[in-house]
Amino acid sequence: MTDVSNNNRLQPINLFEYEQLAKAHLSQMAYDYYSSGAWDEVTLQDNRAAFERIKLRPRMLVDVSDRNLSTSILGQSLQMPLLIAPMAFQCLAHPEGEVATALAAASAGVGLVLSTMATKSMEEVAAVSNQQNALQWFQLYIHKDQGLTRALVERADAAGYKALCLTVDAPILGQRERDRRNEFALPPGLHPANLATISGLDIYHQKGESGLFTYFAEQLNPAVTWRDLEWLQSLSSLPLVIKGILRADDAVRAVECGAKAIIVSNHGGRQLDGAIASLDALAEIVAAVDGKAEVLVDGGIRRGTDILKALALGAKAVLIGRPVLWGLAVSGQAGVSHVISLLQQELSVAMALSGCNQLQDIDSSLVKVVNFSSK
């Protein structure tokens, strides 16, 4: 097996070990930017703890000799129910950044959601994915400049992205105190590649206030409401995915406004600290949507058993974020590929041990919520 750590250290055998290895490959500022959450990081920690509150109830004496992990999202096939979440500034982790991530995702047959704040352009990333007909969505923030938003949508459509993924949980940027303490700034040579036409992008290289915080304050529109979704959908024929929903009523409203898929997400604990864990919000939202849109979830997924639990609670697929960055930091495309492979292997084993041959066998009877509080 290739030593994806590119050194003589122990070959990582799970996603937790990848994070430990990644610390040696990243500056403190970059590691904190990727790993931190808002304020006291309560929601960040609860995203992980939510999976530990769910216990599995496996079926026995099932022939599990032939397992199938494949599925489809918005009509496009995936080799397993996994997408890579939109994450900004991936070139902080590796020079190839989002291109390396896209290549790994396409090769593994999993999806990719490209961030507006990517450090590689959407055209450059699409070029490597379109060759393999990969599932690739473009994540969008609505800017104060409607012309810029329109241009981003038109570019995504022309480049071959399969959906627009609108992030709705960031009307302003959550306060991440590690970034504030580090005076987060991009190193020289890095910038948001999809926003090269905006003047003043040197804010990302200025010490003091986080350049990302300044960008959100100056460029993104905090006045966006449900009414703006009609305008957004008029810009292209791409299906709309809404990311950042944590309430059943918002999920119903999203479907009524035309969303074809919903991502249950609290932004990885990076926005409103104290918000409900994504997994804890999932079942209620699945019930409310009632099959009228596909429901995905992100936040805290680190094991194949986590994916199994999310699917049992009604998710069609999951998204992973930080572990991809750890793999990217350790060994570029090979590291991301290995992270995906580890999850694929773990999900296959978890399905076998739970009595499931295919994803359709995974249902709510496999899980039980355990309350650890003492009487």
> Which residues are known to be catalytic?
267
120 marked among binding-site residues? no
161 marked among binding-site residues? no
The answer to whether 166 and 140 have CB atoms below 8 angstroms apart is: yes
1 marked among binding-site residues? no
φ/ψ bin of 242: left (φ > 0), alpha (ψ from -120 to 50), beta (otherwise): beta
Strand partners, 357: none
What is the SS3 assignment for 29?
Answer: helix
141 marked among binding-site residues? yes
267 marked among binding-site residues? yes
Cα dihedral 198/122/31/204 (nearest 10) = -10
Q: How far apart are CA 41 and CA 45, in angstroms?
A: 6
298 marked among binding-site residues? yes
322 marked among binding-site residues? yes
Q: How far apart are CA 100 and CA 110, in angstroms?
A: 14
Give one DSSP letter per residue of 188-237, joined into a string.
TT---GGGTTSTTGGGGG-SSS-HHHHHHHHHB-TT--TTHHHHHHTT-S
204 marked among binding-site residues? no
Which one-letter DSSP state was computed for residue 242? E
115 marked among binding-site residues? yes
60 marked among binding-site residues? no
Task: Write out the two tokens for 29.
Answer: 């500022």
86 marked among binding-site residues? yes
Q: List residues forming the annotated binding site.
A: 33, 86-88, 115, 139, 141, 167, 176, 243, 265, 267, 270, 298-302, 321-322
Q: List residues forming the annotated binding site for glyoxylate.
A: 33, 141, 167, 176, 267, 270
Q: List residues forming the annotated binding site for FMN.
A: 86-88, 115, 139, 243, 265, 298-302, 321-322
